[in-house]
Each structure stands twice: as structure tokens, then as C-alpha cells.
Chain A
Amino acid sequence: SQTIHQWPATLVQPVGSPLSLECTVEGTSNPNLYWYRQAAGRGLQLLFYSIGIDQISSEVPQNLSASRPQDRQFILSSKKLLLSDSGFYLCAWSVLLEQYFGPGTRLTVT
């Protein structure tokens, strides 16, 4: 069966510091991968999605970036965090249309 991992589970970072969140998927090949952000009391915002290695599309302009160095690994990064980057970050995978989500990373920028 397929599983999706995210780490860390929680993170507290000062403004201006770098960020690296990692997501890995097991049990499937060539999945589509997604990064979402969920701000407090709000819905899901799609940040990036990827249909293959080094094939990444950005949905919104921001100071975040994503990379996919391996088929089942998706990384969300920032060189300098902003206060507005605080939120709950969710990674998801899909082969067809239904998406399956990881447990999420709670990021607090102080």
C-alpha cells in the first residue's frame, strides 16, 4: 500500500531564516506531487505541483520554491521566511485524480 511521509511535524523558525520541508511517497511510481498551504481558518491553497522529476509548476508568486530531486521526493524551500509563511503545509500525491495527503507540517514563523 502507499504511504506518504512529511517532516518535520512542527517547526518554529525566525523571520529571515531558511526553510526546507520534505515529503516522500512509498508504494507507487511516478506520482503527481503537490504542496498546499492552509492558513488558520482558511481553505487549502495550492502552492506547487509536479508531474515528474524536475517538472514543477508554481501556482502563486511567493518566496517559496519547490524541487523534486527523485521520483517520490518533493521538497519545499525558502531562502528567507516571512511572517506570512506561517501555516499548515500539506503534501499530497496522486496517480489519477484523487489526491492522498500527508500528515502535514505546522510552521510558525516568529
Chain B
Amino acid sequence: AQSVTQPDIHITVSEGASLELRCNYSYGATPYLFWYVQSPGQGLQLLLKYFSGDTLVQGIKGFEAEFKRSQSSFNLRKPSVHWSDAAEYFCAVGARSNDYKLSFGAGTTVTVRA
């Protein structure tokens, strides 16, 4: 079965500082990996996805993520955070063999301080 772990429940970062959110997955075959962002009271928005190819993927809002097969990780990064990046971030893993269902991590809440 596929599963996702986000080790950090809550991260606080200063505006303008860099941000890295960790994601570790467990899956036997090649995973399809995603990062979503959720602002309070809103639905989830897809930030970026990895299916195959270049292991460094670019997403919206200046985010990027790197797939590292050897570490079973798909960490999300942003070089310089803005106050509007305060939100909850979810990592997810999916597979065609699992009826296209996604397994989500528990989420990491990001607080941005001025």
C-alpha cells in the first residue's frame, strides 16, 4: 500500500527566508507525486506534480520540488517566502494500479512572520 509521511506538523518562517517542506513516501513501484496547498476554509490547489523525467520540477507560485528515489522523498522548496504563502501544504502519492487514488500526508502548516 502507498503511504505518505510529512514529518513536520508546523513550520514558522520569516518573510523572505527560504522554505523547505519534507515529504517521504512508501510505494513499491514508481510513484506519482504531488504537492497541494490549502488556504484556510478553501479547497486544495495543485502546486506541482512529478510523473517521470527530470527529478526537479517547477510549480506555480515559485515553488519547486525534487524527487529523490534513493531517499523516497519529494521535498518542496521556495527560495523566498511571501506572507501569502502561509497555508497548509499536503504531499500526495498516487498510482494507476491503485485506481488513480491518492494517499495524502497529514499536512504541514506554514506560518510566515513579518
Contacts and interface: CB of A to CB of B under 8 A. Distances in A.
A96 B100 contact: yes
A96 B41 CA distance: 26
Interface size class of A (residues with CB under 8 A): 20 to 34
Main secondary structure of the interface of A (DSSP, over half): strand
A97 B96 contact: yes
Given A97-B32, A97-B94, A106-B41, A43 B106 contact: yes
Interface residues of B, number: 23
Interface stretch (B19-27, B42-50, B73-81): B42-50
A32 interface: yes
Interface in B32-46: 32, 34, 36, 41-46
Contact of A99 (B96, B102, B106): B102
Nearest to B93: A97
A103 B100 contact: no
A99 B92 CA distance: 10
B104 A49 contact: no
B67 interface: no
Interface of A: 32, 34, 42-44, 46, 49, 51, 57, 90, 92, 94, 96-104, 106
5 contacts: A44-B104, A49-B101, A96-B100, A97-B49, A97-B95
